[in-house]
A and B are shown apart, each in its own frame.
Chain A
Amino acid sequence: MTEIQIEPNSFEMVFFDAEKIANLASEVAQILELGDEQIKLRIDETSSMGRSKVESYEPIILAVDGGAFENTQRPRYLGETRTSETIARLLMRIIDRRSPGFANAPEDDLLDLPLRVAWDTYTAGRLNHLGLSTQKKRRQYQFRNRHGFSDAADEAFTFLWGSPNKLVWADIERISVGCRIALV
């Protein structure tokens, strides 16, 4: 059973329940077969922005803005689907980085926006297969913004979205850069 730590464990600016978040994180970790690893989740409740990142890969520490867990229909309240999806995307990034195929991937801070979005597309597609991500059109719009509003970019998106666990970093890089060369 994965051990989940939530920081802070109570909230003043938003109506979040730390235990609920821990349960959602635990469910996601189980689906992603993360075993008994400890996961720490740092939530900045003062921010309604939607930023999220892996703060540490070993041990796992995730840092998110409160807005990334928020129900967009009811600001300040927890959005369960969004919470699960955000955690799952970050954990999937960790799983990828631990595999040899992603050994050459640049550090998170050095990833340019198109590469980050291409990787997120591949991640979201796999999460969709697992029933954890549903916003395909949103991801496609993000992908188009970074790779062009073109048939070539749409084909690349479809490929990344529908490639369960068979790509390596070099594939993602090649696809992303290929779209951008086509744009020029």
Chain B
Amino acid sequence: MRKIFPAEELARDSRFVRQSNEDRMNDPRGARVGGSTGEKLSKLTPNLPNGPDRARALMHGIFVGEIQALEGAGRTCYDFETTTDVPFAMKLDMARQCWDEARHCEISVALAEHMGTEIGEFAENTLLYQAACNPDPVLRLTGVNRALEGLAIDVFNTMKEFGSIAGDPVLEFCEDWMLADEVTHVKMGSDWLRELTLNDKERLTKALEFQKVVDRLFSFNGFRGEDDENPIQLTRRFRELAGFSDEEIDDIAQMSREAAAETVH
């Protein structure tokens, strides 16, 4: 088996349909994320007329995102040599993440079914997995565990609130559990980033720059942010628990505003 497995070869059964990044970005109506497009963004709540349908589409996006997170964590277990590339303990954390992501796949596919969605009903885009393809383990860890899993914190908290407002006990319960796991994963990323770059400021800077690039991509033209019009709300409290500084969270919020402004103009 090769080291570094390309996103375009991720194995899926016949129900899944892939949409390339090119197709997604070239959609003249605005790139679509989890049932929303660039137009008329608003916070995802059940009170919106299309709220349940948007949540339903987003849950499918979460499901395929969890598959890709599982695949990414698995590849980090395999792609790097123990001790020479990465510490043994970091690999153990990545294996633990595999188990967590496998459970998240099970949870989100069951939730999708609960919301009336079939596997493969919506197109899959492999943007999330691509963050897990970086050949530098520190950059990969930063892209996956701080940017991607950070996005997961925001998404799960938004969905948990959606479930709470809608009075959907199943959604609220499950999202809260997944949120706990994601905070753990982001904390793993924060801890390992600090540990692996302890005596290498240059590598730390490079990793944080890479994280910014990924975070900007994951802002999806203002899809995620902390203003009222952002469908997915940036979650300060849980990000702090996971090792993000106030300054870092401010940066992500600002980045989202800039991305949204660029889309409008």
Check B114–A74 contact: CB distance below 8 A: no
Complex Cα distance A183/B115, Å? 20
Given contacts A138-B116, A141-B115, A145-B51, contact A72 B167 (CB under 8 A): no
* Inter-subunit contact A49/B50 (CB<8 Å): yes
A138 adjacent to B117 (CB under 8 Å)? yes
Residue A20 CB within 8 A of the other chain? no
Chain B CB within 8 A of A66 CB: yes
Quick check: A47 and B56 within 8 Å, CB to CB?
A: no
Q: CB of A50 within 8 A of chain B? A: yes
| CB closest chain-B residue, reference A66 | B29
Partner among B27, B51, B114, B120 whose Cβ is within 8 Å of the Cβ of A75: B27
Please measure, in the bound complex, the distance between the C-alpha atom of A119 and the C-alpha atom of B17, giving whole angstroms.
33
Interchain Cβ contacts within 8 Å, total number: 82
A75 contact set on B, CB distance < 8 A: 19, 23-24, 27, 32, 123
Complex contact A141–B50 (CB within 8 A): no
Q: For A135, what are the chain B residues with a Cβ–Cβ distance below 8 Å? A: 116
B39 in contact (CB, < 8 A): yes
A139 interface hit (Cβ, 8 Å): yes
- CB of A48 closer than 8 Å to a CB of B: yes
Closest to A145 in B: B52
Q: Is A166 an interface residue (CB 8 A)?
A: no
CB-nearest residue of chain A to B57: A72
Residues in A whose Cβ lies below 8 Å from that of B39: 47-49
A183–B167 Cα distance when bound, in Å, is 10
Tell whether A113 is near chain B: CB-to-CB under 8 Å.
Answer: yes
0 or 1 for each of A138-152: is its CB under 8 Å from B? (1 = yes): 111110110011000
A76 at the interface (CB under 8 A from B): yes
Task: Please determine whether B120 and A73 come into contact, CB atoms closer than 8 angstroms.
Answer: yes
Query: Would A73 and B122 count as touching, CB distance under 8 A?
Result: yes
**Using Cβ atoms and an 8 Å threshold, which residues of chain A touch B51?**
145
Measured between alpha carbons, how far is A51 from B30 in the docked complex, in Å?
Answer: 16
- Chain B contacts of A74 at CB under 8 A? 17, 19, 123
**Distance (Å) between the CB of B163 and the closest chain A CB?**
9
- Give Cα distance in the complex from A141 to B168, angstroms: 10
Q: Does B166 contact A (CB under 8 A)?
A: yes
Among A51-105, those with CB < 8 Å from B are 51, 66-67, 72-76
**B261: interface (CB < 8 Å):** no
Q: In the complex, which residues of chain B have a beta carbon less than 8 angstroms from the beta carbon of A47?
A: 29, 37, 39
User: Is A137 within 8 A of B17, CB to CB?
Assistant: no
Q: What are the residues of chain A within 8 A of B32 when measuring CB–CB?
A: 48, 75
Residue-by-residue, is B62-101 near A (CB-CB < 8 Å gives 1, otherwise 0)?
0000000000000000000000000000000000000000
Decide yes or no whether A46 CB sits under 8 A from chain B.
Answer: yes
Output the least CB separation between A152 and chain B (Å).
Answer: 13
Cα(A75)–Cα(B23), bound, Å: 9
Query: A72: which B residues are within 8 A, CB to CB?
Result: 57, 121-123
Cβ of A170 under 8 Å from chain B: no
Most chain B CB within 10 A, of A13, A45, A48, A137, is at A48
| A13/B28 contact (C-beta < 8 A), A49-B37, A73-B121 known | yes
Task: Please pick, from A51, A73, A76, A141, the residue contacting B52 in the complex, using a CB distance under 8 A.
Answer: A141
When the two chains form their complex, are residues A51 and B168 in contact, meaning their CB atoms are under 8 A apart? no
Extra 6 A-B pairs, beta carbons < 8 Å, given A46-B29, A48-B27, A75-B24: A50-B53, A137-B117, A138-B53, A138-B116, A138-B117, A144-B168
6 contacts between A and B (CB under 8 A): A47-B37, A49-B37, A72-B123, A73-B122, A74-B123, A137-B113
Q: Which 10 A-B pairs have the closest CB atoms?
A: A138-B116, A137-B116, A73-B17, A145-B52, A141-B116, A48-B29, A48-B37, A141-B115, A13-B28, A72-B122
